[in-house]
Amino acid sequence: QLIAHQLGGRVGPSLEREYGPARIEVLADTPLFEGLPRQLEVWMSHGDRIEAVPPGFQVIARSENSPVAVMADVTRGFYGLQFHPEVAHTPLGKAILRNFLERVCGCQRSWTPGNFIEEAVSAIRRQVGDGRVICALSGGVDSAVTAALVHRAVGDRLTCIFVDNGLLRAGEAEEVVATFGRTMRMNLVHVDAKEEFLAALAEVTNPETKRVRIGNTFIRVFEREARKIEGARFLAQGTLYPDVIESAGHGAGSATIKTHHNVGGLPPDMRLELVEPLRYLFKDEVRRIGEALGLPEEILWRHPFPGPGLAIRIIGEVTPEKLAVLRLADKIVVEEVKAAGWYRRLWQAFAVLTNTRTVGVMGDYRTYGYAVAVRAVVADDAMTADWARLPYELLGRIANRIVNEVPEVNRVVYDITSKPPGTIEWE
């Protein structure tokens, strides 16, 4: 649409929005669709459409609701796509992008995890010089790969700091300390800051406020620890490109979907300079780099966990009592998903504690307890995601265990919303 508008075409509102799966018909032979079928399943998400192509362009493909699904000025190598080739819901999207890069732009596939590691280590050394670095270690693959890259670059001048913010999953703090002490063999500082984070979240119900306050508290804790490490001037974080996009951190025209505590939620007066070697990568690429670095499987394939932790899986105010309820419910979800052999097949699976209470009957008694939502999604990069079609038997076991083992809960629902329109997290 932007290409059409800027180069003399015409864009107008569609009579019907195209949102979700669609089928396009390829009308002309171009390098973009070389070797691909004439009809393709794609993912659309738009309310406007091209009404007239710019001078020099021709219509390359159409769909039922978009007479111009693809347009091109082949001579100049300009291509405009109305659909999203970059998402998993366009099955041949990677082939389309590959054709564009190789057949249109003349690029060669020289990127490898090894090349990236070499370039990232060099870039970190240039940025840090002889300074000392502290790494925000969460236990997930992103921060682990970040720590490994920085350690390869600066060695013992890296200190990893794991902050227990009181918003972690059941047993996670202990697991992180044990895992990284055993496998990573780096300088590790364990900071217990539960009370500090919970105080910052007292009476807060707005999800954006939660994210910002957690981000501010997170940085303050790190600055306090940094002052104990002579010469520490840099903070390494496992920020990925989806975090940047959703926080509108790359490009003035991007809309803020939600603030990520390690992107838009950082305080403006932060004293530490950021080191973010993974900033323009996606999760699948990070895992490939982690494999090349020799990280253990238990780290590489751990389900992604949001920086603000369980705070954004509790709708409404965060309290110690609600955290205890959610931890137990979430532990049951993960245990059952693993037992059923679904863990590696899912991008994420977790529980959400809603702020809705419902009437129930248990035994001879009336109950008035919380409703818990179970969320399980499949995805390649988290830019889009689809709700997982878990077997009814598995969902039944999860629900049965939660209502029987978590006294405060009497109802379990399953979230069947894809991304878009929803995000993976509820807040």
Task: Write out pLDDT tens, residues 3-21.
Answer: 999 999 999 987 777 778 8
Closest by CA to 237, choosing from 166, 172, 307, is: 307
Report which DSSP code applies to 29. -
The angle that helices 392-405 and 320-339 make with each other, rounded to 10 degrees, is: 150
Helices (H), 41-139: 93-99, 113-128
Strands (E), 170-284: 187-192, 232-236, 273-275
Helices (H), 184-257: 194-200, 207-226, 241-246
pLDDT of residue 383: 78
Token code pair at residue 377: 């999604």
Read off the pLDDT band of 264 (50, 70, 90).
very low
pLDDT of residue 257: 45
Mean pLDDT over 306-317 rounds to 95
pLDDT of residue 269: 64
pLDDT of residue 286: 93
Domain with CATH 3.40.50.880 in the chain: 1-104
Read off the pLDDT band of 260 (50, 70, 90).
very low
Mean pLDDT over 88-92 rounds to 88
pLDDT of residue 165: 95
pLDDT of residue 413: 98
Domain boundaries 1-104, CATH class = alpha beta
Angle at 136 between CA 293 and CA 206, to 5 degrees: 130
**DSSP letter for each residue of 43-69:** EEEEEEEEEEPPTT-EEEEEESS-S-S
Could you give the CA distance from residue 242 to residue 260 in angstroms, rounded to a whole number? 10
Domain with CATH 3.30.300.10 in the chain: 320-414
Range among 51-60, 269-278, 301-310 with highest mean pLDDT value: 51-60
Q: In this predicted model, which residue has the larger pLDDT, 275 or 266?
A: 275
Read off the pLDDT band of 172 (50, 70, 90).
confident
**The length of the chain, given as a count of residues:** 427
Domain with CATH 3.40.50.620 in the chain: 113-250+257-301
Closest by CA to 46, choosing from 84, 80, 4, is: 84
- Whether the pLDDT of residue 255 is over 60: the answer is no
Residues paired with 73 in a beta bridge: 78
- Whether the pLDDT of residue 229 is over 50: the answer is yes
Angle at 173 between CA 156 and CA 117, to 5 degrees: 40
pLDDT of residue 252: 42
Closest by CA to 217, choosing from 311, 91, 319, is: 311
In sequence order, the 6+-apart residues with CB closer than 8 A to the CB of 130 are 157
**Bridging pattern class, strands 232-236 and 132-137:** parallel
- Whether the pLDDT of residue 179 is over 60: the answer is yes
pLDDT of residue 87: 83
Mean pLDDT over 74-98 rounds to 92
Determine the 3-state secondary structure of 377 from DSSP.
strand
pLDDT of residue 270: 64
Domain 320-414 has CATH 3.30.300.10: yes
Q: Residue holding tokens 């990568």?
A: 281
Mean pLDDT, the chain, integer: 89
- Whether the pLDDT of residue 334 is over 50: the answer is yes
Closest by CA to 415, choosing from 383, 376, 381, is: 376
Read off the pLDDT band of 256 (50, 70, 90).
very low
Could you give the CA distance from residue 314 to residue 323 in angstroms, rounded to a whole number? 8
Which tens digit of pLDDT belongs to each residue from 28-67? 999 999 999 999 999 888 888 899 999 999 999 999 888 9
pLDDT of residue 246: 62
Q: In this predicted model, which residue has the larger pLDDT, 185 or 214?
A: 214
Mean pLDDT over 240-261 rounds to 56
| 48-62, 123-137, 155-169, 260-274: least confident range | 260-274
Mean pLDDT over 367-389 rounds to 92
| 41-50, 262-271, 277-286, 383-392: least confident range | 262-271
pLDDT of residue 49: 86
* Radius of gyration over every alpha carbon of the chain, rounded to an integer in angstroms: 24
pLDDT of residue 267: 56
Whether omega for the bond prior to residue 420 falls within 30 degrees of 0, making it cis, is yes
Whether omega for the bond prior to residue 421 falls within 30 degrees of 0, making it cis, is yes
User: What's domain 113-250+257-301's architecture?
Assistant: 3-Layer(aba) Sandwich (3.40)
**Bridging pattern class, strands 232-236 and 273-275:** parallel
